[in-house]
Amino acid sequence: MRRFHLLHMAVYGALLFLGLGAKCARAETGADAWLRYLPLEKNAARKYARLPASVVALGDSPVLGSAKSELIRGIRGMLARPLREENSLPHESAIILGTVSALQTAAPTFLEHVDFHGDGFLLATVQLHGVAYFVVTSTSERGVLYGVFALLSRIARGESVSALRETQQPEAPIRWVDQWDNLDGRIERGYAGASIFFENGNVRADLTRAADYARLLASVGINGCAINNVNANPHVLEDSFLPQLARVADVFRPWGVQLSISVDLSSPKVIGGLDTFDPADPNVAEWWKKKVNDIYRLIPDFAGVVVKADSEGRLGPATYARTPADAAKVIARALAPHGGIVFYRAFVYNHHLDWRDPTNDRAKAAYDIFNPLDGKFDDNVIIQIKHGPIDFQVREPVSPLFSGLEKTNEAIELQVTQEYTGQQRHLCFLPPMWKEVLDFDMHAGERRTPVKDIVAGKTFHRPFGGFVAVVNVGMDANWLGHPLAMANLYGYGRLAWNPDLDSTAIAEEWARLSFGNDPAVVQTIAAMLLASWPIYESYTGPLGAGTLTDILGSHFGPGVESSERNGWGQWHRADHHGIGMDRTAATGSGYVDQYRAPVAKMYESLDSTPDELLLFFHHVPYTHVLHSGKTVIQQIYDSHYAGAEAAARLVQQWESLKGQVDEERYQAVLRRLEYQAGHAIVWRDAVCNWFFQISGIVDQHRRVGHYSGRIEAEAMYLEDYLPFEVVPRETASGGKAVECAPPAEKCSAAFRFDGAAGRYEMDVEYFDQSNGKSKFRVLVSDQVVDEWIADDRLPATKPGGDSSTRRRIFGLVLRPGDHIRIEGVPDGEEHAALDYVEIHALPEGSTRP
């Protein structure tokens, strides 16, 4: 009986698998990212029937070993075919993996000419003695690995590989990622769990995730990773720590990813026992030299170090009145004999600026400090420059420093972790933003000099240069928290490899690899991704005013005023009359003059400054009329309303994919999008109300301050709940909310429904902090219609724009006079605070449950 049952289950299971296999097979955590290697549908798989049945790797290095095992793994997964491993060149068709020199040794006539170098590779069908071989080759072993990933990507996306001859050449030698991981396991600006490298002050015992990460990085051509926070703990350089670092290098090595670390410039003093860290002191130079030699003894392929100094409280050469060039030199000279590199970050600025002085401007800092040092850096130093002059805002102009260094290597620093762009709670696909930066013509020569050419070293013929992105993946199974956020890591890798790719192609590629080739799925996801940055921008900080987030805290929710009247210099200078930072040469800080003349001219004039950057460069009255014909204030209102609506539409777009993608990721994405749609309203209301208060100018469409169907919690009938003022006031509706503070253990807020009978949807706006797990219940005429626990991990310990969260209750049947009650049970520091309820009729014919 029992056996029959098991058999029955097995047959049933197999049928289920066959029936559903193609579409929404197994649940997926997202851990496989874009390397899923799921079985292709029969028709698609047939295309690859003539792919050879065996593989040979010419050499036995760890990187070639990865190339071979990856190929076998991918082909087995996608085509359900084992690849036979051969030890030498067989006399029948085979896939050959090897460097150009290995190929030439095996058969001198294999390759007629080689039009790639470094990590560039060739995928080609080559005839030799009448046998057709499929060759994956490069001048570097790493390039062979990249070729294998490219081949597998083609197969996963259903692209033909027969009669192929494809050469790919990366734009630049430097294609790196930085992680801001602390040794205690926390990650600065990381939004997906703990560090994959460190735990409790040490390197993790289990580095499986680190190895998996290296594989992901390699699959998009990334060849270096700095694993610890640029706010570096000097302890990483301690003798006892170096063997731990070597363990990370060991798991990176098979994937061609070189290890790098961030170092603190005061290390010679703090851990080295010297009484100074002055870069000009010979003992300090000696200390660095010895330390670097020790590192290379353990990690022969160590890549180099990243330096953040004289910035945000980090010590640096300024302590001894020395320059960044002096500081870089002392480490560069220690690294040079080993081929190591120093990445010296240009993110150096004074965060105690006097905000009253209109000539002060943080945006000027990097250029002011580094431009005079051009030519003073050694050839193995790279200046790592954030793409904009401030700090990863939702929109900034390009840093003028890119055209301010001609005799110095450069790398652009981008941010995959969405510090100022929604922290992976909001969808914000960044390649379109990065493309604008990379394609921007700096006018630094006779021909076009886009940023991508400058950083790649092409414009000024520099030996090194390239791309860096701060990524901050964590232990969360899906790496970045939001399943769709991985499109940013993928997109970064693709652009670092080839900045000429276009965003649509990248979005589609990623969607295919991550969710399969169903055209409706691919088109929908790509469309959502491509729309997402403008959407995020429109409900946060439009017109170049900065993200308008709380810059003193989480950098997440709205905080319009947080940037003002302090030394951080992220000012937008909004007052009763107008808004914007005057950075012109004529009347402002003079920042525009850091650009080459044609660019400076464009930004100097109000007329030729594009609307989206207007407030970055000019201070204008709210009534200033934009190129679009709208006034600034009306544009602020309109964009925030349009943005919140567009965020709501993302939810609907995603819902159209129900059943087309695996349920686990479907639900995970849906939850984030619903959260985003709710939080977009928090943003919209906070920003619009703030500007309405300060400008006194009403919204032409009368939306700001008027919310149909909204009932404020403080206006309800309260039992034990008490009203309080939320700070800043615009982050709660009407500036107030209610809380269930001790000694109360349970509170309620109630009201009578006075609308017509029908089906409604009800939004409950409450505050979900990280320091408690309050419980909520909603009752209609004493029947529980919903209950939940406020246990999200939002970056908030008090009620406000970071914690304000929406719970949507669908398909509620209401009659006039119904008694609606919300009960809150506080927990810890979280007082089950409640802001408002909004009730909307479901549209006629709505199919919502």
300 preceded by a cis bond (ω within 30 of 0): no
State in angstroms the smallest separation of the CB of 390 from ligand GCW.
9
Residue nearer to ligand GCW on the CB measure, 391 or 518: 391
Buried b (16+ CB within 10 A) or exposed e, 288-308: bbebbeebbeebeebbbbbbb
State in angstroms the smallest separation of the CB of 698 from ligand GCW.
36
Give the full edge-to-edge strand order of the sheet including 783-789.
Answer: 717-719, 747-752, 819-825, 775-780, 783-789
State in angstroms the smallest separation of the CB of 231 from ligand GCW.
5
State in angstroms the smallest separation of the CB of 592 from ligand GCW.
23
CB 190 within 8 A of CB 472: yes
How many helices (DSSP H) and strands (DSSP E) are in the chain? 20, 29
- The C-alpha atoms of residue 791 and residue 469 are separated, in whole angstroms, by 31
Residue nearer to ligand GCW on the CB measure, 313 or 742: 313
Q: Among the options 413, 419, 508, 768, which is catalytic? A: 419
Residue type, 716: M
All residues at 6 or more sequence positions from 112 whose CB lies less than 8 Å from its CB, including other chains:
none
- The C-alpha atoms of residue 712 and residue 702 are separated, in whole angstroms, by 19
* Distance set, CA 635 to CA 440, 515, 607, 752 (Å): 25, 37, 17, 37
CB 265 within 8 A of CB 327: yes
Q: Among the options 92, 312, 500, 829, which is catalytic? A: 312
State in angstroms the smallest separation of the CB of 191 from ligand GCW.
12
Instruction: Report residue 119: phi and psi, to 5°.
Output: -90, 5
Residue nearer to ligand GCW on the CB measure, 392 or 637: 392
CB 205 within 8 A of CB 198: no
CB 778 within 8 A of CB 786: yes
State in angstroms the smallest separation of the CB of 180 from ligand GCW.
5
Closest-by-Cβ residue to ligand GCW is 391
Q: Is 391 a catalytic residue?
A: yes
- The C-alpha atoms of residue 79 and residue 48 are separated, in whole angstroms, by 8
State in angstroms the smallest separation of the CB of 685 from ligand GCW.
26
Residue nearer to ligand GCW on the CB measure, 176 or 180: 180
Q: Is 171 a catalytic residue?
A: no
- The C-alpha atoms of residue 319 and residue 36 are separated, in whole angstroms, by 51
Residue nearer to ligand GCW on the CB measure, 170 or 324: 324
CB 550 within 8 A of CB 558: yes
State in angstroms the smallest separation of the CB of 187 from ligand GCW.
10
Helix (H, G, I), strand (E, B) or coil at 116: coil
Q: Helices (DSSP H) in 137-194: which residue ranges?
A: 141-156
Both tokens of residue 516? 């399969």
Residue nearer to ligand GCW on the CB measure, 308 or 426: 308
CA proximity to 562, closest of 576, 574, 550, 571? 550
- The C-alpha atoms of residue 23 and residue 750 are separated, in whole angstroms, by 46
CB 327 within 8 A of CB 345: no
Residue nearer to ligand GCW on the CB measure, 802 or 823: 802
State in angstroms the smallest separation of the CB of 392 from ligand GCW.
6
728 preceded by a cis bond (ω within 30 of 0): yes
Helix (H) or strand (E) holding 497: helix 486-497
483 preceded by a cis bond (ω within 30 of 0): no
Other C-beta atoms lying within 10 Å of the C-beta of residue 188: 15
Residue nearer to ligand GCW on the CB measure, 415 or 538: 415
CA proximity to 35, closest of 464, 490, 448, 475? 490
Q: Among the options 28, 178, 181, 391, which is catalytic? A: 391
CB 554 within 8 A of CB 802: yes
State in angstroms the smallest separation of the CB of 349 from ligand GCW.
10
Residue nearer to ligand GCW on the CB measure, 362 or 672: 362
Interface residues with ligand GCW (CB under 6 A) are: 180, 188-189, 229-231, 308, 347, 391-392, 419
Angle at 397 between CA 645 and CA 480, to 5 degrees: 55
State in angstroms the smallest separation of the CB of 244 from ligand GCW.
22
Helix (H) or strand (E) holding 438: helix 431-439
Catalytic residue positions, numbered:
312, 391, 419
